[in-house]
């Protein structure tokens, strides 16, 4: 076997693995493993819309706000979100994997932040408070959730009236969700689309919950 055939075989196997993971995630929980967290934490220069600073800048955060980091992973966004709402605001970092939460907690402690709470839970299982948040972010998480409808319904309930949800998707993620799918699911949950940044392969899609509030 030549080097190029070996390389092609490896690429095909990797592509099949990614496809299998994506399809299996439709039926059961197969989240991004904790050992791959370094990949999640990497602010890839080719996916500007997935950079933590870029996402946080679109949220119009003000001091005192409450923010949900849904599927926080290793806390890539948790720290800038907590800084954005200041000492009078709070961030809830939620993830179903204790290893991810431990990494997020270590990061917030290293940053000297005390306005972050952590919750080990699966989005969609109904553990979030009603009308608890001004903002929610769901960054490269939606495709990992088998019941995406339940997850979006819970986000809708958890936001305050007028609250804002930002969904981020990038094509490099094995669980990438096309914009049309995200809009369809979010609209069915009751959200209205507010804005879109980026393009169809890497985007930040913002939705608002009906009612008066500080989203617009």
Ligand X SMILES: C[S@@+](CC[C@H](N)C(=O)[O-])C[C@H]1O[C@@H](n2cnc3c(N)ncnc32)[C@H](O)[C@@H]1O
Give me the residues that bind ligand X (CB under 6 A), please: 31-32, 40, 71-73, 76-77, 94-97, 100, 122-124, 139-141, 144-145
Cβ-proximal residue to ligand X, closest one: 73
Nearer to ligand X, 134 or 144 (CB): 144
Closest separation in Å from C-beta 55 to ligand X: 8
Closest separation in Å from C-beta 135 to ligand X: 14
Nearer to ligand X, 102 or 196 (CB): 102
Nearer to ligand X, 34 or 162 (CB): 34
Cα Dmax for the chain = 65
Say if CB 23 and CB 99 are below 8 A apart: no
Nearer to ligand X, 17 or 63 (CB): 17
Number of Cβ within a 10 Å radius of residue 17: 11
Closest separation in Å from C-beta 63 to ligand X: 23
Closest separation in Å from C-beta 5 to ligand X: 32
CA-based R_g, the chain, Å: 17
DSSP code string of 41-106: H---TT-GGG-HHHHHHTT---TT-EEEEET-TTTTTHHHHHHHHTTTSEEEEEES-HHHHHHHHH
């Amino acid at each position: 076997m030549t080097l190029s055939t070996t390389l092609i075989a490896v690429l095909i196997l990797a592509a099949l693995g990614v496809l299998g993971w994506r399809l299996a995630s439709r039926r059961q929980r197969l989240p991004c493993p904790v050992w791959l967290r370094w990949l999640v934490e990497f602010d890839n220069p080719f996916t500007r819309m997935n950079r933590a600073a870029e996402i946080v800048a679109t949220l119009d955060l003000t001091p005192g706000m409450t923010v949900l980091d849904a599927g926080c992973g290793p806390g890539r966004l948790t720290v800038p979100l907590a800084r954005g709402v200041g000492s009078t605001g709070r961030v809830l970092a939620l993830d179903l994997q204790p290893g991810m939460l431990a990494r997020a907690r270590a990061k917030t402690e290293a940053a000297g932040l005390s306005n972050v709470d952590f919750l080990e839970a699966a989005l969609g299982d109904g553990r979030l408070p009603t009308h608890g948040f001004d903002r929610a972010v769901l960054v490269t998480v939606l495709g990992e959730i088998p019941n995406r409808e339940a997850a979006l319904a819970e986000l809708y309930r958890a936001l305050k009236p007028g609250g804002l949800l930002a969904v981020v998707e990038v094509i490099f993620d094995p669980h990438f969700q096309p914009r049309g799918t995200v809009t369809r699911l979010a609209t069915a949950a009751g959200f209205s689309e507010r804005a879109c940044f980026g393009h169809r392969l890497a985007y930040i899609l913002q939705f608002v919950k009906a009612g008066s509030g500080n989203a617009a």
